[in-house]
């Protein structure tokens, strides 16, 4: 089944059409506490959602776990969900990941529609068929590939976001620019994310989603070129998992932004990525995302976390590197010494 992605112009009509195309006896809406408060009131009176049952889970990635999943399964069961029911995931990437996994596993699979409400989810999590939960202290350790029947991107939801969540989503757009072409990359590193023009941002969002769509269509199961989408994520996921034990865990996009810095450094050292573009991208990240404080004493734990990354084969650490904007080199094995060197650059560069 090819996943339909709709850049929304008339949300109620598009959602009604999507539901018509999904055979359903009951509708369940999964949201977290934040989207239940900020986004559910905007849609709950839609005629097509009459009789829909709302399932609310805890907000933030800390709740993307087995306990939340079990609570969703129980509420689906108590609500009389059948194999012919439909789930709408209304929320950020945590909701679309967990809700998609719940839909994929309950009764061996229900239809589901993703309605991402954060920039990060619009550009990344809700598109491409990855679903899952965190487990054992590791990100996305349990999950399946399964496309939503439909993804509706309604940029009006961006008005509900705070500054940090806009920046978090924008980091994935920055990554998409780096793996696409110089024109798109240049537009992104010259955009004022501190005072975003939402109309222009919506246009760039559409371009960014097309980058991901093109790659996912070519490699839906991440056997080859889809690994390009992992740029910034080997180091980024390690930063993110490491931060879970701190008082202020990183938002995913911030972790990816920080992960781009050491991976672009290695791209310059190993593949000849241009120094001027390295500096321009790193400067943009530093100015808009700040710093993530680590010390040399943290390197062993970060390396340990990188060894757990799902992209690895054997005991090696694999990354995606660039020889230039859009010149992608997947499956690059790096040594622990190179990791330390890149982390030195991240701290001091």
- pTM of the complete model: 0.87
Q: Are residues 75 and 213 in the same domain?
A: no
Q: Are residues 282 and 227 in the same domain?
A: yes
Q: What is the pLDDT of residues 136-149, one digit of tens each?
A: 988 899 999 999 99
The Cβ of residue 108 has, within 10 Å, a number of other Cβ atoms equal to 7
Give me the pLDDT at residue 221, please.
83
**Which of 124, 145, 160 is the last residue in one of the domains?**
160
Q: What is the pLDDT of residues 64-87, one digit of tens each?
A: 999 999 999 999 999 999 999 999
Q: Are residues 153 and 12 in the same domain?
A: yes
Q: Are residues 324 and 222 in the same domain?
A: yes
Q: Are residues 322 and 339 in the same domain?
A: yes
Q: Are residues 14 and 129 in the same domain?
A: yes
Q: What is the pLDDT of residues 304-318, one digit of tens each?
A: 999 987 677 778 999
**Which of 109, 130, 160 is the last residue in one of the domains?**
160
Q: Are residues 92 and 126 in the same domain?
A: yes
Residue range 3-20: average pLDDT? Answer: 92
CA 349 to chain centroid, in Å, comes to 27
User: For position 293, which CATH number holds?
Assistant: 1.20.1090.10
Q: Are residues 242 and 138 in the same domain?
A: no
Residue range 192-208: average pLDDT? Answer: 91
Q: Are residues 155 and 209 in the same domain?
A: no
List the domain range (segments joined by +) for residue 144: 4-160
**Residue 50 backbone phi and psi in degrees, to 5:** -60, 125
Q: Work out the mean pLDDT of the chain and round it to a whole number.
A: 94
**Bridge partners for 29 per DSSP:** 54, 88
**Which of 160, 193, 216 is the last residue in one of the domains?**
160
Query: CA-CA-CA-CA torsion for 56, 58, 59, 62, nearest 10 degrees?
Result: -150
Give me the pLDDT at residue 222, please.
82
Q: Are residues 134 and 251 in the same domain?
A: no
Total domains in the chain come to: 2
Q: Are residues 193 and 154 in the same domain?
A: no
Q: What is the pLDDT of residues 164-195, one digit of tens each?
A: 999 999 999 999 999 999 999 999 999 999 99
| Whole-Å CA distances, 295 to 188, 247, 270, 340, 342 | 30, 17, 24, 11, 13
Residue 150: pLDDT above 80?
A: yes
Q: What is the pLDDT of residues 226-267, one digit of tens each?
A: 999 999 999 999 999 999 888 999 999 999 999 999 999 999
Burial (CB count within 10 angstroms: exposed 0-12, middle 13-18, buried 19+), residue 179: buried
Q: Are residues 142 and 21 in the same domain?
A: yes
User: For position 11, which CATH number holds?
Assistant: 3.40.50.1970
| Whole-Å CA distances, 349 to 191, 286, 346 | 23, 10, 6
């Amino acid at each position: 089944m090819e996943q339909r992605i709709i850049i929304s112009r008339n949300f109620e009509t598009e959602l009604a059409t999507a539901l018509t195309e999904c055979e359903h006896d009951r509708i369940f809406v999964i949201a977290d506490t934040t989207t239940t408060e900020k986004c559910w009131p905007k849609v709950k009176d839609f005629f097509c959602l009459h009789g829909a049952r709302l399932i609310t889970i805890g907000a933030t990635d800390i709740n993307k776990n087995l306990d939340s999943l079990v609570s969703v399964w129980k509420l689906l069961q108590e609500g009389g969900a059948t194999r012919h029911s439909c789930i709408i995931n209304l929320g950020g990437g945590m909701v679309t990941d967990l809700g998609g996994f719940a839909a994929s596993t309950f009764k061996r699979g229900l239809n589901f529609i993703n309605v991402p409400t954060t920039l990060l989810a619009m550009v990344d999590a809700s598109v491409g068929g990855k679903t899952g939960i965190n487990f054992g202290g590791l990100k996305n350790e349990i999950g399946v590939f399964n496309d939503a029947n439909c993804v509706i991107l309604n940029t009006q939801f961006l008005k509900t976001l705070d500054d940090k969540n806009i920046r978090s989503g924008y980091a994935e757009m920055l990554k998409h620019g780096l793996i696409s072409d110089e024109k798109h990359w240049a537009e992104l590193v010259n955009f004022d994310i501190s005072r975003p023009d939402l109309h222009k941002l919506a246009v760039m969002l559409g371009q960014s989603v097309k980058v991901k769509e093109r790659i996912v269509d070519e490699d839906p199961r991440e056997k080859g070129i889809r690994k390009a989408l992992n740029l910034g994520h080997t180091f980024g996921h390690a930063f993110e998992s490491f931060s879970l034990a701190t008082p202020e865990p990183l938002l995913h996009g911030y972790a990816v932004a920080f992960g781009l810095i050491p991976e672009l450094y290695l791209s310059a050292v190993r593949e000849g990525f241009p120094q001027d573009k390295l500096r321009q991208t790193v400067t943009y990240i530093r100015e808009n995302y700040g710093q993530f404080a680590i010390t040399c004493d943290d390197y062993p734990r970060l390396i340990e976390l990188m060894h757990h990354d799902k992209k690895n084969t054997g005991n090696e650490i694999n990354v995606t590197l660039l020889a230039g904007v859009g010149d992608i080199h997947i499956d690059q094995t790096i040594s622990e010494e190179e990791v330390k060197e890149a982390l030195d650059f991240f701290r001091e560069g």
